Amino acid sequence: MRVLYWNSGSYAVSVNGKTIEETKFDPSIGKASELSGTQGCGENRFVGGIDNYLEFIVNPDCVVSVNPIDSFAANVRLDWTLDEFYANGG
């Protein structure tokens, strides 16, 4: 299932009351890993930025809940020399 969102907040997916971790970030595609379909009900990923959608697997044997959480994911690029980085202990 794919749900479109107007914002790029974070969401927790739960199945029968148990939180299911989202797929990990895949640097080769620049976003959360595609769903494999092999992890069962609740396998999920949130794609933020411009796209803003949550995908998750649902089957007849489970109850899926989606709840907003008070956090956000970010990528940060830092630029300094190694000497500058290690000057204060790294």
Q: Where are the chain's structural domains? A: 2-86
Single-letter amino acid code for the residue at 10: S
Look at residue 48 and tell me whether its pLDDT is greater than 90: no
Confidence at 7, pLDDT banded by 50, 70, 90: confident
- Helix/strand/coil for 82: helix
The whole-model pTM stands at: 0.72
2-4 and 53-56 strand pairing? antiparallel
Give me Rg for the CA atoms of the chain. Answer: 17
